[in-house]
Structure 1
Amino acid sequence: MAEAKLQIQMLHDRVLVRISPEDGERRSSGGIVIPATAQVAKRLAWGDVLGVGGHVRTVKVGDRVLFNPEDQLEVEVQAQTYIVMRERDIHAVATEETEHGTGLYL
């Protein structure tokens, strides 16, 4: 039997995010490899928005968002792990251009 594709519709103010793969191992400015399991301090993570609910106002599918992964709920769909969170738990949205001229450029 062939696998059916699931279509997931997020409800209310919920956002479905996939953690970016580059948030694993890091390198210090001196070239030292820091494993993903190293606990230095609480660290925010970047992720890609895959779905949004009907009451989400500032985030859209395809945006790159900054959030705290420790405070969120994980869900596994077809062997992939995703994060489900409320829109208010997102700290920042990365965009190509800034309209207001404030903030950081990554």
Structure 2
Amino acid sequence: MMADKLNVTPLHDRVIVKPAPAEEKTSSGLIIPDTAKEKPQRGTVVAAGPGKKDEPVTVKEGDTVLYGKYAGTEIQIDGNDYLIMRESDILAIV
């Protein structure tokens, strides 16, 4: 289980997401420099909290999700970058 590997358990309706890597090339094959890369808006859920009292969390570990451009807080665990956000910041499950 990935959440056990992280040793971090999100509380309530919080979710930990591993962002997808940023695009390296455009569809026409142009290489995008680091300064022009946009933040990814897609990622994989690696851990989810139990939810609120009357609202269980609907996403689960392994789900690929879309989230807002500025959603969540960036954290680093064991040298890896993650985002921790509320489930309401997630726009869709892909």
TM-score by length of 1: 0.68
Task: Indicate the structure whose relative CO is greater, using CA pairs within 8 Å and at least 6 residues apart.
Answer: 2
CA RMSD of aligned residues (A): 2.2
> For the residues of structure 2 that align with 1:58 and 1:6, how far apart are their CA atoms?
21
What is the 5 A alignment of 1:25-44? Answer: 25=24, 27-38=25-36
Q: Name which of 44, 50, 53 aligns with 1:54.
A: 50
Of the two, which has the highest radius of gyration?
1
Contact 1:43/1:68 (<8 A) preserved = no
Aligned-residue sequence identity (percent) comes to 40
What is the 5 A alignment of 1:82-93? Answer: 82-93=82-93
Contact 1:75/1:81 (<8 A) preserved = yes
TM-score by length of 2: 0.76
- The structure-2 alpha-carbon separation of the partners of 1:51 and 1:93, relative to structure 1 and needing over 3 Å to count, comes to same
The amino acid that maps onto 2:79 is A
Aligned residues: 86
- The structure-2 alpha-carbon separation of the partners of 1:76 and 1:44, relative to structure 1 and needing over 3 Å to count, comes to closer
Q: Does 1:71 align with 2:67?
A: no
Structure 2: state its 5+ residue gaps.
none
- The structure-2 alpha-carbon separation of the partners of 1:29 and 1:81, relative to structure 1 and needing over 3 Å to count, comes to closer
Contact 1:44/1:66 (<8 A) preserved = no
> For the residues of structure 1 that align with 2:64 and 2:82, how far apart are their CA atoms?
14
